[in-house]
Every structure is written in C-alpha cells, then in structure tokens.
Amino acid sequence: MEERLYGDHTMADIDLAAVERRALDELAAACDAAAAAAWRARYLGKKGEVTQLLRGLGVLPADRRKQAGQTANRLRALLQEAFDRRRALLEASSPAPSAAIDVTLPARPHRQGHLHPITLTLREIERAFRDMGFAVVEGPQVEWDEYNFERLRIPADHPARDMWDTLWIDYERDGRYPMLLRTHTSPMQIRYIERHRPPIRVIVPGTCYRYEATDATHEWMLTQVEGLVIDEGISFAHLKGTLEAFVHRLFGPDVEARFRCDYFPFVEPGAEVAIRWRDGRWIELLGAGMVHPEILAATGYDPARYTGFAFGIGVERTAMLRYGIDDIRYFYDNALGFLEQF
Ligand code: PHE
C-alpha cells in the first residue's frame, strides 16, 4: 500500500521523539501568553503538526496504524498537559502584561569550559622558554623514518624501531617501513637545522605516539617539548644552566635537579634530568645532551665552529608533578570530574 507523504516524509519515518523534543523546547522558550498560544496552534491546533500527524495515520496498514496511533495520541496528550502547565505558570508569573519578562530574575548559570591541564602546562613551559629567548615552532606528527630515526643516528636494529614501539602508517614498502607517527619531537631537530642557519634557539611542542601498553606512567599518546640551541661556543654549561632555570621556574627555586649520564644516539654526551620531589624520590623529567657532531656535519654545519644542545621534556610527566597526579591515564579519559578540578 502506498503511504501518503507527510511533508517530506512518509508517516513511517516521522520521529515522534524528535517532534516531542522540539515541541517541548519551543514551549519552554515561549515566555508570554501570546507565544504560548502560537505554539499551541502550531502543534495542537486544527492545522497543527500533531493534529495533521494523527490525521495521516489512516493511510498506514492496519497492523502499524494501531501502534502509531497510540504513540501519537500519547504525544498529543503529553503536549496538551505541558501546554496547560506552561500557561498556568505564565499566568502566575505575569500579573500584568507589561511584566511579562521579569528582568529581576537571576540569570541561569552558564556552563563554561576551560583549558585542559596539558594545555595549561604546555603554555607554562612555553612561557618559561620564551622568556629565555626561545622561539616556538611546530612540526608534523606524521613523519618519515628518515627524520624520526635514520638521521638521528638511530640505526635500523635499534629497539625503538620495533613495531612494538612505533605506530607505522605505511607499514611496508620496498621491504621498508618509511612512514610513521613520530615517537618523539626530535625529528624537528633535523628539519630545523636543514632550513636555518645558527644562531638557533627554538622549542618544539607537540604530540607523539608510541605503540605501548598503557600504565600509570605510560600512554600511547604523549606530549613533548623539544629544545634546540646551536651557536658558536655553546657548551654543556649552557645546557645545564638553561634546564636548571626551567626546573626552578616550573617547580620553585628549592627543587633540586639531578643530571646523570644517559644514552641517546643523537647527542654526545647525553643526560637525563630528574627532579627531587617532595617525598624525596627522584623523578625523570627529560632527556638532553650536546647535539652529536655527526648530525651537525651531515647537515652542512662545521662542527669545529658550531656546537649545540638539545632536550626533550615530557609534558604529561611535568603536569603530573605540578598537580600531584599519580596516573597519566586520567588526562585522556575525558572524565569531567577530573578535568573540572583545574
Ligand atoms: N627524544 C628523546 C626521547 O623521546 C628525548 C631527547 C631529546 C633526548 C633531545 C636528548 C635530546 O626520549
């Protein structure tokens, strides 16, 4: 049997719940008797939407007609009741037509969002380095193996290339895995050196990805801030002074920073920086080191003239320490109860 068109729809695809929601929303917005009366005509009047809808039921096959009829009748009764209540309310609250809008009513509270704790922390880190004369630049999150690994002197058999650590975009081509989600922000060291001449003083904030099982201190998505300084006469003392200034700026002048040897293929010597937290524990915050002379030479810099240092700060770690959060997974859970505390 042909179903008659109702507006642009057949009876069968009218979403009564949507009609109900729309009608009730509009009724709630009707703030005087005239608006309420117009609403009533629109939905329940002779030519009203719901009235028309009920009329249209006749074209449905008998088995569907009964059920659709009950639902539509329930909707009509519900809207009629809502209208009666609304009218009573409007009459009670507007004794005189001129007082239809009560301007003395307190405004409804407005829900307002705010920045995510990682964004807040990132901005603080950026401010700290901007004040030390660093520029802020960004790089691509989808990288070539060449930048993420090869040119950072991370050889093909390095464990970081293992598929368990890296999310590959282009898994295999010519027997190689050339495109990936960057596992750190260090590829921007190469990209930046390629296109600029010293003096260089930049930080690179950004999201990185690792194919890891998550736990309290590891997430598959993380934020880093890379730093790169290259000029004549840059020494390890500059690295130390800069990172100590950063630690004191973010965590207070009394927090101790510990530098220990660490290995990263793209720096020499390499270091890790940990801070001593309130409970006496040392907590690793970042990796750093002097830019490897081979990297400078490979990009056309004379390593006898130019030296530099680089570092990579874990932003989630920094935020956890600043706010006293013991599980990294809270950040990306989208739980308002957590986020509203910032
Ligand atoms: N990219 C390193 C990491 O993700 C950190 C690092 C950056 C170390 C720069 C040294 C220099 O672990």
Does residue 149 line the site of ligand 1, with CB under 6 A? no
pLDDT at 161 over 80: no
Instruction: Pick from 183, 186, 296 the residue to mutate for probing ligand 1's pocket: most ligand atoms within 8 Å of its CB.
Output: 186
Instruction: Pick from 183, 229, 264 the residue to mutate for probing ligand 1's pocket: most ligand atoms within 8 Å of its CB.
Output: 264
Pairwise pLDDT comparison (40 vs 157), residue with the higher score = 40
Please identify, by atom number, the ligand 1 atom nearest to the C-alpha of residue 270.
10
Residues acting as catalytic residues: 164, 184, 210, 224, 267, 310
**Whole-model pTM?**
0.69
Pairwise pLDDT comparison (284 vs 64), residue with the higher score = 284
User: What residue ranges in 142-255 does DSSP mark as E strands?
Assistant: 142-144, 168-170, 179-181, 200-209, 221-232
Does residue 267 line the site of ligand 1, with CB under 6 A? yes
CB-based contact 135:261 (threshold 8 Å): no
Q: Kindly state the average pLDDT of the residues 87-114.
A: 79
CB-based contact 148:183 (threshold 8 Å): yes
Q: How far is the CA of 311 from the centre of ligand 1 (A)?
A: 6
Listed as own residue / partner, the contacts of 119-127 with beta carbons closer than 8 Å and 24 or more positions apart are 120/319, 120/342, 121/315, 121/318, 121/319, 121/322, 122/205, 122/223, 122/225, 122/315, 124/250, 125/203, 125/205, 125/225, 125/246, 125/250, 125/313, 125/315, 125/318, 126/203, 126/205, 126/225
- With a pLDDT cut of 70, the percent of the chain lying above it is 92
Q: Kindly state the average pLDDT of the residues 62-89.
A: 89
Pairwise pLDDT comparison (288 vs 57), residue with the higher score = 288
**Beta partners for residue 282, in sequence order:** 276
Q: What is the pLDDT of residues 259-315, one digit of tens each?
A: 999 999 999 999 999 999 878 889 999 999 999 999 999 989 999 999 999 999 999
Q: Residue of the nearest CA to atom 4 in ligand 1?
A: 184
Q: What is the pLDDT of residues 125-145, one digit of tens each?
A: 999 999 999 999 999 999 999
Does residue 311 line the site of ligand 1, with CB under 6 A? yes
pLDDT at 204 over 80: yes
Average pLDDT, the chain: 89
Q: What is the pLDDT of residues 219-240, one digit of tens each?
A: 899 999 999 999 999 999 999 9
Q: Which amino acid is at 120?
A: L
pLDDT of residue 95: 61
- Strand 179-181 relative to strand 142-144: parallel, antiparallel, unpaired? antiparallel
pLDDT at 23 over 90: yes
Q: How far is the C-alpha of 213 from the C-alpha of 196, rounded, in Å?
A: 38
Does residue 128 line the site of ligand 1, with CB under 6 A? no
